[in-house]
Amino acid sequence: MRRFLQLSFVVCCSVNNDMSTIKEQLKPIILNSLRITDLTPADLRDDQPLLGGELEIDSIDVLQLVLEIERHFGIKLVQGNFNQKNLENINALAATIESKMAEARS
Amino acid sequence: MTRWYEHRFHNTTALRMIFVVMPRLPRFLHPPVAAVTALIFFLVLKRERRAVTGNLRRVSGKRRLALQWKVYRVFYSFCDLMVSYCFVPQATDSQLLGMLVDSDGSSASIKQCLAAGNGLIVWTGHLGNWEFASRLLSMYGRVNVARVVEDNPAEITLRNLMASERVTTVDLKKGIPATLELLQALRRNEIVAIQGDRVYQRHTFDVPFFSQPTGFPVGPFMLSQVSGAPVLPAFVIRRGWLRYHVLMGDPIAAAPPRDKRVEADASLCQAMCQAVSFLEAALVTHHDQWMNFFDFWPVPAQD
């Protein structure tokens, strides 16, 4: 039981680390794709709404963002059941990227 | 932006009249009926006539009577388009092919583009008969027609008429969901058809078009860049009453992504220039089938 808990803790930490790393990489990509120059990655919250919020993302911005994400992470982001909800905020987008990376690995 | 379908005759009653009368008339009577109808609308729809005159003055270089004749021909071409709604939606593949004249090479080009598995973006315009084009394309796979669907009963009737298992309209008014839908379609190796000669959103590049920097939407080329789908400029031109010819350019490879934004924009712009040049070349010969009934260039018409 103790070993199982230890293992679970390690797995959780590793997933959280992956997510944190993804978010760290994602924030500059978002700013760069949207041509936002007056904000830094540190200004973006993890729950920062991407759609309908102050970033004012439109269709072309989404394409630019998808292009940059796919190039950076080496995944096909928009495929299968991907929809607008996956772009709701940075947390949701990072989780989607994480799961697509896991899919690609397996 | 003033559009053709904003005039008072673009309603379901007028459409019903076309759908009831035209299929019952012998085919040899269609052209004379269209000629008279076109003349009536040419005379009645002054705002649209002025706009087309302004557009064709720049495109054709013609003046006075020769120019007005070309403008009248645009109205006549529009009659052909409207009557084609009576026959094209329910036509079988062989009936559609029977309406084609000299278009042998187009099939191989479409198949070759789709063979790469990244889908295909057909970049067309309001030239000739784009509804016929979407039906033709549906012979090669599922077609997603990207367009702004107006909340107008006549427009909805026409959209419903053209809808089928193989032809879906993706309403660009939906914004981001529409974009994602188109990208997903390309990733399923489907066809996306876009009319690139009208601007509906703020992202445009100014490229030379009849010696004037003109804004064209960047969306189709961006979609191509993300999906890897080639852009195929193509138009279905009228060659006689309900007879058509496919004009197809060379496939434009997806613009390669670049690290620097300036370079990325330049590669998108280069792809757009190729498509726009093809449109310009097609219009030099077929300007009397260019159905943009608003001032394409914001310059007041003087004729």
Long-range contacts of A35-41 (CB under 8 A, 24+ apart): A35/B261
What is the residue-averaged pLDDT of chain B?
Answer: 92
Question: In this predicted structure, what is the pLDDT of residue A10?
Answer: 47
Measured in degrees and rounded to the nearest 5, phi and psi for residue B142 equal -70, 135
The DSSP call for residue B170 is E
For B48-60, the pLDDT digits (tens) are 999 999 999 999 9
For B69-86, the pLDDT digits (tens) are 999 999 999 999 999 999
Question: In this predicted structure, what is the pLDDT of residue A17?
Answer: 58
The whole-angstrom separation of Cα B250 and Cα B232 is 7
Contact A63 B179 (CB under 8 A): yes
Q: Identify the CA nearest to B183 among candidates A82, A6, A17.
A: A82
Q: For residue B204, what are the CA distances in angstroms to B125, B173, B198, B215, B217?
A: 16, 17, 10, 5, 4
Question: In this predicted structure, what is the pLDDT of residue B5?
Answer: 53
The whole-angstrom separation of Cα A83 and Cα A100 is 14
The residue of chain A nearest to residue B177, with distances taken between CA atoms, is A84
ipTM: 0.87
Q: What is the pLDDT averaged over residues B215-224?
A: 96
Tell me the shortest Cα–Cα distance from A59 to chain B, in angstroms.
Answer: 5
Across the interface, of B176, B203, B218, the residue whose CB is closest to A51 is B176
The residue of chain B nearest to residue A52, with distances taken between CA atoms, is B176
**Chain A residues inside the 8 Å CB shell of B187:** 76, 78-79
pLDDT tens string, chain A, 106 residues long: the values are 666 555 554 444 445 558 889 999 999 999 999 889 999 999 999 998 998 878 878 999 999 999 999 999 999 999 988 999 999 999 999 999 999 999 988 8
Contact A84 B219 (CB under 8 A): no
For B87-131, the pLDDT digits (tens) are 999 999 999 999 999 877 789 999 999 999 999 999 999 999 999
Q: Identify the CA nearest to B215 among candidates B225, B224, B202.
A: B202
Look up tokens 């403008």; give the residue: B71
Domain residue spans in chain B? Answer: 4-84, 93-289
Measured in degrees and rounded to the nearest 5, phi and psi for residue A40 equal -115, 165
Q: Which of helix, strand or coil describes residue A61?
A: helix
**Chain A residues inside the 8 Å CB shell of B180:** 62, 78, 82-84
Mutate to test the interface with A, among B181, B200, B226 (most CBs of A within 10 A): B226
Q: For residue A53, what are the CA distances in angstroms to A4, A50, A56, A93, B229?
A: 42, 6, 6, 15, 31
Query: Is-contact B104 B153, C-beta < 8 A?
Result: no
For B273-284, the pLDDT digits (tens) are 999 999 999 999
Q: Categorize the per-residue pLDDT at B302 as very low, low, confident or very high, splitting at 50, 70 and 90.
A: low
Query: Which domains, ranges and CATH numbers included, belong to chain A?
Result: 2-105 (1.10.1200.10)
